[in-house]
Amino acid sequence: MTREYRILAAVFVASRVLLALLGFEFAFSLDWMFLADPSDLARRLLPTVWDFHAFPPGMNLLSGALLKLAPEHTATLARVCFEASGLVLVTSFYYLTRALAVPAKLALGVAIAFSLLPPTLYLEHLYLYDYPAAALLALFSALLHRALVRPSQSAFFALFLTGAALVFLRSAFHLVWFAAVGGVVYAMVPTASRRALLQGAIGPALLCLALYAKNYARFGVFGATSWGGANVAAATSARLAPEVRREWVREGRLSRYAELSVFSPPRAYLRFFGSPDSERYPELSALERPSLGSPNYNHWFFLEVNPARAADARHYIQARPLDYLATVFGTNLPQFFGPTTRWHPRDRTPASPHHAHRKLLGGYERAYDAVVHGLPFSPVGLYLLLPLLLFASARRALRLFRARCEPIPTEAVLLAFLVVQIVFVTAVSVAFTFGECSRYRFLIEPLIVVLLLGWVARRFRPDPSR
């Protein structure tokens, strides 16, 4: 480990110890809709994950492991895991900036500053999948560069295992994404390294395929989640005026479920199904999670409801394409670039998951948002300049590809990968979801800052590709 990495790790750990001493809380809860019942996770983890279809199983696997390892101190262990994810995030961030030839002192200073920004601190101390997913994406980007610089079976295995972890954690990173990245890397590496790539990728690829095959064989869902249709419906048919929606349901243009909120609990669907019990899925018949008393969104009802909602969404887009585009570009896109820490529907009440965080850092958060999201106007703020940064980075990558000054143009591949991931996550978030877009942006926040630093560094050094 180089001196800069040791400094970065020391400052990061010291800052987290200081925050803990100052009373900065870790917002821990197992009452999220993407989790199974905690008692099931603690007693029968693997069977519970086997029977889970609603969302990718990553957070269930993590929660079950924490409950088994430290049943009396689960929240503390979860905090340690998330802060460890933070260390992975900032060290990957530093590696990426150095890969783009950012001077070491500047890269180190910005990595430390990024680790202390309000969005980083708030999401790092919230038991939600966004932060570990951002850490994994930054790590994947760093491992991609390293595997191209020093191709080996172990390097490719680490790369694709990280990609598989993303597939298990976040539904945006699906099997097509995994295969597309693998295909690009295969095309980039020298022929002599392709055998090592295939050997390193086969295990993680089979792991992803096993998840999809399990869900297809068990539930008829070829994916990591059965809730994709509901997510799209939230951005489409759910946006109809109530009277129009009722009329469309009466006319048969929408399913009978369209009048219910996408987030309605399974109990609300009893009027359609009669009984919660199922001969085919007896394990999925509980309307509530018993140890929490909150809705069970892994109920078998949703295996029928969510495909119908997907059909509703398709009909809405076909019938009202301009309204759909107005939602995507007029509502979702500005929302996506709004303040990362202002995503929760009850954010301005004590029910916000960040309520305790604001007791200590609320003033800092407001000052940060006033600059980053307030200039030149809110809520997008400085992100208005992002298209220019993406264009400049893509142009630089294209120039390097054409110059082909080395067997593998590693800087070009890295730049292209970062640009594509930023565009991909943005597009998926604004096109297929609604209401919580701003926190999704944190997935790519480190990548945006890395590109910005790379651009700044190029302004102050000669460019041999010119």
Q: Where are the domains of the chain?
A: 228-331
| Distance separating alpha carbons of residues 285 and 279, to the nearest angstrom | 9
The separation between CA 193 and the C-alpha centre of its own chain, rounded to angstroms, equals 31
Percent of the chain predicted with pLDDT > 70: 98
Q: For residues 29 and 40, give the distance between their C-alpha atoms in angstroms, rounded to a whole number.
A: 16
The pLDDT value given to residue 403 = 84
**Average pLDDT over every residue of 189-208:** 96
Judge whether residue 449 has pLDDT over 80.
yes
Task: Report pLDDT digits (tens) over 212-261.
Answer: 999 999 999 999 999 999 999 999 999 999 999 999 999 999 999 999 99
- Residue pLDDT, tens place only, 19-69: 999 999 999 999 999 999 999 999 999 999 999 999 999 999 999 999 999
- Phi, psi (deg, nearest 5) at residue 2: -75, 165
The answer to whether residues 324 and 234 touch, using CB atoms and an 8 Å cutoff, is: no
Q: How far is 263 from 238, CA to CA, in rounded Å?
A: 11
Task: Provide the pLDDT confidence category of residue 405 given band limits of 50, 70 and 90.
Answer: low
Preceding amide of 464 cis, omega within 30: no
Coil, strand or helix: which one is 205?
Answer: helix
Q: Does residue 306 carry a pLDDT above 60?
A: yes
Judged against a pLDDT cut of 80, whether residue 464 lies above it is answered with: no
Q: Which residues of 119-131 are buried (b: 16+ CB within 10 A; e: fewer)?
A: bbbbbbbbbbbbb
Long-range contacts at 380-388 (CB < 8 A, ≥ 24 apart): 380/334, 380/337, 380/338, 381/337, 383/337, 386/337, 386/422, 386/448
pLDDT at 1 over 80: no
* 349-403 residue pLDDT tens: 899 999 999 999 999 999 999 999 999 989 999 999 999 999 999 999 999 988 8
pLDDT of residue 250: 96
- Averaged over 188-201, what is the pLDDT? 94
Encode pLDDT of 372-384 as tens digits: 999 998 999 999 9
**pLDDT score at 466:** 45
- pLDDT score at 388: 97
Q: What is the pLDDT of residue 182?
A: 96
Quote the percentage of the chain above a pLDDT of 90.
92
pLDDT in tens, 327-345: 999 999 999 999 999 999 8
User: Nearest to residue 126, comparing CAs of 357, 436, 367, 434?
Assistant: 357
Confidence at residue 348, expressed as pLDDT on a 0 to 100 scale: 84
Per-residue CA distances from 151 to 166, 189, 203 (Å): 22, 8, 17
Instruction: State the average pLDDT for the chain.
Output: 95
Cβ-based neighbours of 376, under 8 Å, separated by 6 or more: 384
Predicted confidence (pLDDT) at residue 191 exceeds the cutoff of 80: yes
pLDDT band at 465 (very low <50, low <70, confident <90, very high): very low
Residue 463 pLDDT greater than 60, yes or no? no
pLDDT value for 19: 97
User: Is the confidence at residue 113, as pLDDT, over 80?
Assistant: yes
Each residue's pLDDT tens digit, 206-222: 999 999 999 999 999 99
Q: Average pLDDT of 82-95?
A: 98
